[in-house]
Chain A
Amino acid sequence: MAKQVTLTIDGKQVTVPEGTLVADAAKMAGIDIPVFCHHPKLEPVGMCRMCLVEIGRPVRDRATGQFVMENGAPKIQFMPKLETACTNKVEEGMVVLTRSQKAVEGQKGTIEFLLTSHPLDCPICDKGGECPLQNLTVAYGPGKSRFLYDEKMHLDKQVPLGELIWLDRERCIQCARCIRFQNEIAGDPVIGFDERGRATQIVSFSDPGFDSVFSGNTTDICPVGALTTSDFRFGARPWELQAHASICTQCPVGCNTTLNTRREAKSGGRIVVKRVMPRQNEDVNEIWICDKGRFAYHYTEGKQRLTRPMIRKDGKLTRASWDAATKLAAENFQKAKKNFVILASGRLSNEDLFNLKSLAEHADGKAYIYSHMGGGELTSLVGVGEGTNFGSMGAGTTIVVVASDLYEEAPVWYLRIKQAAARGANLIVMNARETKLDRYASFTVRYAYGDEVKAVSDLAKKGKIGDTFLKSENAVILYGSDGLGVSGSAALASACAKLLHDNGFTGRPNNGLIGVWGRANDQGAWEMGFEVEEDLAKAFKGKTVYIAGADPVADDPKLAKALEGAEFVAVQDVMTTATTEIADVVLPAQAFTEREGTLTSGERRVQRFYPAVPVTGEAKADFAITSQIARHMGIVLEGTSVSAVFDILAASVKSFEGLTYARLAEVRPQWPIVGRSDLYYGGTTYENTQGMGAQLSAAAGRGEKVSIPKVEKEALVRPKEKELLAVPVTKLYDRGTTILPSELLHERIGEAKVILHPETAKSLGVEEDQKVSVSFNGVNGEAAVKLTDTISVGVALIPRSMGLAIREPVAVKVK
């Protein structure tokens, strides 16, 4: 428990931990001190001078060191000038006056100065209505102006700092919140100040402009309308939007979001999502979301959405009724008996996956998860459980990140883990190539592709790294699939699980295994008991396949061929994909914006998402579709109430025991205080009133016996002599089905690339940006060459989901 300090603010006694800044202490006590440049999550700079207050401190006698007493209490001496509350730490006995005449005049004067160079943009500025400058001007500023309009400064407006974020230089009040966020929190110092004096302006140093996956967060914390997103430009006024709680479905972090919707004429009178904003959950994503989550929601709208069930008649897909489509599917599933295969992906909610698994069990079929990673069943045994929170990790905890580039795969975990490292946690980053997290690591372990398991097992050996690991109180291992396929990552998972289990790093909060999955709810699928199949092509041939939320045809030509040879294919998805085009029955599913459900994040936290827009066409929720099909097969599965499915799920799956929808909707007071009335303080993040979720339990945590399967060393592929090894890596902006419909991200997605070391390129006779043909394992494609010396010689990195279907390390020919 940190040392507590008591001070008096505006006559009120306030007790806060030592080291708290006066501005934060006042906020904790419910007293508002206006701030612009100060943000509770950033280091204070005292640049804007808005938080000017009168501070008095108890006087000490220089000679004796004792308090000088006056009228029975320590004498308080006020500084002759005002001080900034954001840069002063609290002291015992301090007296702060925030509304004395001097302070009021100081605050008023600061606003007056800021407004002298501010353009008269309120009616056209996107921030109007949720603007800290507006709110603080009305609350603390002057009512009349003394400044001549003609002397206002004119600067560039609508400057693109990259195609996602636009800067209006006239509105910028040079508070540097954006620069400090990028430097301190995001770790991407790609923007900065240029020029000086009043001409100080923000510039972007990178190409592409504002090259950071967290750039959208600067628009939340910018106190004026200087930084705005091009996605939401002139979309709507904040008071015209309705807010709905949701969870981002792009990666396994499970960031809490708020979907702002409006009924508008531009969309033909429909209610549409206008923007995605972060929702505060200090246990998951704090108040941040990455740009993919912020901008890649367009797949839920648009012409590509499936609206009606379809049946293939005479070779063409024709509209059908729900009854006909589900009956046809049911008949075929029943006919298949043991040849019935379900392929589901982590795009579905827990309830959908549970119904699918139940259907597979009842129909004696197989339930596969569409994933390029294996080893998920180990997370039910030794995964992290209740109480695990990156925000509480510090000295004494070791975080191992192996075979994963968190910046690209789970950006907000990257943020959280680098902050944990800054707080003293031992961060061990293990990868075959350099990643952005290396800068914050206590130890970096470089291994060659194929030596993953050995590197992990070596962590238990004696040595600097090994000692740090074994001596720590808590240890969490995040394992990914960088350069690995299904069996490779499964082997890695076993190695990690064994390491944790053997050394007692399981069954307690902040201990355990975390998988950096490819999709939002892969964890849920693993918990339900879905299996991963390395050779899906073999699994499909001649079988009756029920695909939900996956698009194997577009991903891999081999799988496309296999599905063509399948007996019957039923596809359930939210939009038209290559797989729906070859299906025999197409079932339209509701997007996550249209329904409620739960998702399990990679940290094994179950969180609820709520509906935001009305249902498109005749789409039904995935679990309801599965239930309707099951009913035709004589199997009873709950298909009406989502919470009922969840209750059945909680009763069937051990890790979900004790969870209810009500429990998932519980909230706790969080710090910093954000929300509509406090948006000047924490930013325009929405407060969380709809639920913070709850974590699952793991077998180890429940005290059950855990046995880790043996690691299969042969599963790992090593580069052979004179052979170029292509390894799959994940990049954040790829051509996935859920991101491609967002046109404004197309520039960031770019074209297919193959990444080589300069020496490798030289030996192949290719140069940067040169288009080469890439062929491996029956896959042929084109890619542009990109050179970097952060990888080893002899490997070619091929990003997944960019048009080249790479599933595991494989020999490649590049010409």
Chain B
Amino acid sequence: MTQIEEVNYEQYRHLVSERAFTGETMLLNMGPQHPSTHGVLRLLLELDGEVIVNAVPDIGFLHTGVEKNMEAKTYLKAEVMSDRLDYMNNLGNNLAYCMAVEKLVELDVPPRAQALRVILVELQRIASHLVWIGTFGLDLAAMSVFLYAFREREQILDIFELCSGQRMMTTFIRPGGLWRDVPVEFETAVRNFLKIFPKRVDEYEALLTKNPLFLDRLLGIGKLDAATALQHGVTGPMLRASGVKWDLRKARPYMGYEQYDFDIPVRTEGDTYARYLVRVQEFRESMKIIEQALNKLPMGPVRSDNRKFVPPPRSEIGVSMEALIHHFKLWTEGFSAPKGSVYSAVESPRGELGVYLEGDGGPKPHRVHWRTPSFSNLSVVPKLVKGHLVADLVAILASTDIVLGDIDR
């Protein structure tokens, strides 16, 4: 027998308008299980017919305590948790965390590692945007885009498997460089991808960009002006679609981004269509970066040779006492970071992904806080959806490109 529980609406009094309590408007739960909320997101909607009066996001369903968990692990072991935060941007998270650790302990990264990191992170960006474009189309009933996007994504995930052995949770970027040098087939695989991908992007555009149904659904929907965006801390393509030319890769270059020639796509309309166009253009820019990095790829080591932080190569462990000792200590106790705190941010496919890392002199971080872009991006969504229809809500949510792992951690 189904239990019917009376919901206490008093808990929503401060969130929704008075009209909900008089019965004029309807309170509808969207989520947490919903194919269009891009994860376990609950949206409490106050509806006046089909028109949204208020939308209140309820997050926390995917909270796994990553930040607290990282405090209990050594710096190296904590990195595996970074993979699993924003699960569309694994290598990007790795990079953000490793950059923070390298900043804290002042560890150098050799140039080849930097270039390879750029290539991998940009590939990850493309992979993430492919998921976005796929689900974006899917939410708006353009299912074929979803399938085509995932076909391309397979190629990228195959490249990741080539390098690290895993398609997604790679933990390939380690403090001081990379886990290992990329295999010989890497360059061929990436170039193959770069050969076929521009045409594929054209295909997606052919399906979507000038599609009248698409345009009808998206033009003028969810307008976000620059001031509101900045107020809410929105970053990434959402911000750039609202007219603010801000990309960390250009504004605060890292990992050698300053040596690559690429543009930041910016649009001024601020609606969902603008966000779509920005991201599609980012496909092409990322390809440019990858091509340049691959052409300029320097030879050399892929990991710092500072043995106090980076375990020695396997060939030394069996013959060098120092190497064996450092290997032992680094893998059991881990390296110790000095007292102090750093903040280091990268441009993830969603926006500014920052890691605040605090060391306390021991081998485990005292505090790891992740400044995640989806969190701030989601905070502006209630403003965007006011006055729109429920169907528009789906489009707006899809255009924000949120990942709940990023929001809830």
Is there a contact between chains A and B in the complex with CB atoms less than 8 Å apart? yes
Q: Which residues of A contact B (CB under 8 A)?
A: 112, 115-116, 118-120, 122-123, 128-129, 133-135, 137-138, 141-145, 147, 149, 237, 239
Do B316 and A138 touch (CB < 8 A)?
no
Do A143 and B326 touch (CB < 8 A)?
yes
Do B328 and A123 touch (CB < 8 A)?
yes
6 A-B pairs besides A138-B326, A142-B322, A143-B312 with CB distance below 8 A are: A119-B321, A128-B328, A143-B308, A144-B316, A147-B320, A149-B320
| Candidate in B307, B318, B324 with the most chain A CB atoms within 10 angstroms | B324
Q: Knowing A129-B332, A145-B316, A239-B332 touch, does A118 contact B326 (C-beta < 8 A)?
A: no
- Judged by a CB distance under 8 angstroms, whether B118 is at the interface is no
Distance in angstroms between the alpha carbons of A133 and B322 in the assembled complex: 10
Distance in angstroms between the alpha carbons of A144 and B328 in the assembled complex: 14
Return A121 CB to nearest CB of chain B, in Å.
9
Mask of B298-312 contacts with A, CB within 8 angstroms, 1/0: 000000011110001
- Judged by a CB distance under 8 angstroms, whether B329 is at the interface is yes
Interface residues of B in 279-330 (CB under 8 A from A): 305-308, 312, 316, 318-326, 328-330
Do A133 and B320 touch (CB < 8 A)?
no
- Chain A residues within an 8 Å CB radius of B326: 137-138, 143
Q: Knowing A129-B332, A138-B308, A239-B332 touch, does A147 contact B321 (C-beta < 8 A)?
A: yes
Do B322 and A134 touch (CB < 8 A)?
no
Mask of B333-358 contacts with A, CB within 8 angstroms, 1/0: 10000000000000000000000000
Contact of A144 among B318, B323, B330 (CB under 8 A): B323
Q: Across the two chains, which residue of chain A brings its CB closest to B332?
A: A129
Contact of B306 among A128, A135, A143, A145 (CB under 8 A): A143
| Candidate in A123, A137, A147 with the most chain B CB atoms within 10 angstroms | A137
Do B320 and A137 touch (CB < 8 A)?
no
Interface residues of B in 104-146 (CB under 8 A from A): none
| Candidate in B305, B325, B329 with the most chain A CB atoms within 10 angstroms | B325
Return A239 CB to nearest CB of chain B, in Å.
7
Distance in angstroms between the alpha carbons of A743 and B183 in the assembled complex: 56
- Chain A residues within an 8 Å CB radius of B316: 144-145
Do B308 and A118 touch (CB < 8 A)?
no
Distance in angstroms between the alpha carbons of A223 and B145 in the assembled complex: 65
Do B328 and A115 touch (CB < 8 A)?
no
Distance in angstroms between the alpha carbons of A656 and B166 in the assembled complex: 66
Return B14 CB to nearest CB of chain A, in Å.
46
Distance in angstroms between the alpha carbons of A357 and B160 in the assembled complex: 74
Q: Across the two chains, which residue of chain A brings its CB closest to B327?
A: A122
Q: List 8 A-B contacts (CB under 8 A).
A: A116-B321, A129-B332, A129-B333, A133-B325, A137-B329, A138-B325, A143-B326, A237-B332
Do A135 and B329 touch (CB < 8 A)?
yes
Distance in angstroms between the alpha carbons of A530 and B316 in the assembled complex: 67
Do A143 and B322 touch (CB < 8 A)?
yes
Name the 9 nearest CB pairs between A and B, nearest first. A143-B307, A145-B320, A149-B319, A115-B321, A122-B328, A145-B322, A137-B325, A138-B329, A120-B324
Do B325 and A122 touch (CB < 8 A)?
yes
Contact of B321 among A120, A123, A135, A237 (CB under 8 A): A120
Do A144 and B329 touch (CB < 8 A)?
no
Return B60 CB to nearest CB of chain A, in Å.
34
Chain B residue total in the interface (Cβ 8 A): 20
Return B307 CB to nearest CB of chain A, in Å.
3
- Chain A residues within an 8 Å CB radius of B305: 143-144
Do B307 and A134 touch (CB < 8 A)?
no
Return A602 CB to nearest CB of chain B, in Å.
40
Q: Knowing A149-B319, A149-B320 touch, does A144 contact B307 (C-beta < 8 A)?
A: yes
Distance in angstroms between the alpha carbons of A149 and B319 in the assembled complex: 5
Q: Across the two chains, which residue of chain A brings its CB closest to B321?
A: A115
- Chain B residues within an 8 Å CB radius of A142: 322
Q: Give chain B's interface secondary structure class.
A: helix
Return B275 CB to nearest CB of chain A, in Å.
49
Do B324 and A122 touch (CB < 8 A)?
yes
Mask of B60-104 contacts with A, CB within 8 angstroms, 1/0: 000000000000000000000000000000000000000000000
Q: Across the two chains, which residue of chain A brings its CB closest to B335?
A: A138
Do B329 and A120 touch (CB < 8 A)?
no
Q: Across the two chains, which residue of chain A brings its CB closest to B330?
A: A138
- Chain A residues within an 8 Å CB radius of B332: 128-129, 237, 239
- Chain B residues within an 8 Å CB radius of A115: 321-322, 325
Q: Across the two chains, which residue of chain A brings its CB closest to B306?
A: A143
Q: Knowing A120-B324, A143-B306 touch, does A134 contact B329 (C-beta < 8 A)?
A: yes
Return B110 CB to nearest CB of chain A, in Å.
16
- Chain B residues within an 8 Å CB radius of A134: 325, 328-329
Distance in angstroms between the alpha carbons of A712 and B316 in the assembled complex: 77
| Candidate in A120, A122, A134, A143 with the most chain B CB atoms within 10 angstroms | A143
Q: Across the two chains, which residue of chain A brings its CB closest to B309?
A: A143
Distance in angstroms between the alpha carbons of A294 and B364 in the assembled complex: 33
Return B314 CB to nearest CB of chain A, in Å.
13
- Chain A residues within an 8 Å CB radius of B321: 115-116, 118-120, 145, 147
Q: Across the two chains, which residue of chain A brings its CB closest to B322?
A: A145
Contact of B322 among A119, A123, A129, A141 (CB under 8 A): A141
Return A257 CB to nearest CB of chain B, in Å.
25
Q: Across the two chains, which residue of chain B brings its CB closest to A141?
A: B322
Distance in angstroms between the alpha carbons of A120 and B308 in the assembled complex: 18
Interface residues of B in 18-34 (CB under 8 A from A): none
Distance in angstroms between the alpha carbons of A808 and B286 in the assembled complex: 95
Distance in angstroms between the alpha carbons of A122 and B331 in the assembled complex: 12
Distance in angstroms between the alpha carbons of A120 and B325 in the assembled complex: 8
Do B308 and A145 touch (CB < 8 A)?
no
- Chain A residues within an 8 Å CB radius of B328: 122-123, 128, 134
Q: Across the two chains, which residue of chain A brings its CB closest to B362?
A: A677
Return B119 CB to nearest CB of chain A, in Å.
29
- Chain B residues within an 8 Å CB radius of A122: 324-325, 328
Do B323 and A145 touch (CB < 8 A)?
yes
Return A230 CB to nearest CB of chain B, in Å.
23
Return A59 CB to nearest CB of chain B, in Å.
36
Distance in angstroms between the alpha carbons of A673 and B136 in the assembled complex: 62
Do A144 and B320 touch (CB < 8 A)?
yes
Q: Across the two chains, which residue of chain A brings its CB closest to B317?
A: A120
Do A120 and B318 touch (CB < 8 A)?
yes
Q: Across the two chains, which residue of chain B brings its CB closest to A677?
A: B362
Distance in angstroms between the alpha carbons of A123 and B330 in the assembled complex: 13
Distance in angstroms between the alpha carbons of A120 and B326 in the assembled complex: 12
Distance in angstroms between the alpha carbons of A142 and B305 in the assembled complex: 12
Do A137 and B319 touch (CB < 8 A)?
no
- Chain A residues within an 8 Å CB radius of B312: 143-144
Return B262 CB to nearest CB of chain A, in Å.
38
Distance in angstroms between the alpha carbons of A628 and B321 in the assembled complex: 61
Distance in angstroms between the alpha carbons of A133 and B326 in the assembled complex: 11
Distance in angstroms between the alpha carbons of A122 and B305 in the assembled complex: 21
Do A144 and B322 touch (CB < 8 A)?
yes
Distance in angstroms between the alpha carbons of A149 and B323 in the assembled complex: 12
Distance in angstroms between the alpha carbons of A119 and B316 in the assembled complex: 14
Return A125 CB to nearest CB of chain B, in Å.
9
Distance in angstroms between the alpha carbons of A558 and B103 in the assembled complex: 78
- Chain A residues within an 8 Å CB radius of B319: 120, 145, 149
Distance in angstroms between the alpha carbons of A136 and B102 in the assembled complex: 23
Return A131 CB to nearest CB of chain B, in Å.
9
Q: Knowing A122-B328, A143-B306 touch, does A137 contact B322 (C-beta < 8 A)?
A: yes
Return A148 CB to nearest CB of chain B, in Å.
8
| Candidate in A119, A145, A149 with the most chain B CB atoms within 10 angstroms | A145
Q: Across the two chains, which residue of chain B brings its CB closest to A117?
A: B321
Q: Across the two chains, which residue of chain B brings its CB closest to A119?
A: B321
Distance in angstroms between the alpha carbons of A105 and B332 in the assembled complex: 27
- Chain A residues within an 8 Å CB radius of B324: 120, 122-123
Return A584 CB to nearest CB of chain B, in Å.
53
- Chain B residues within an 8 Å CB radius of A239: 332-333
- Chain A residues within an 8 Å CB radius of B330: 138
Return A136 CB to nearest CB of chain B, in Å.
10
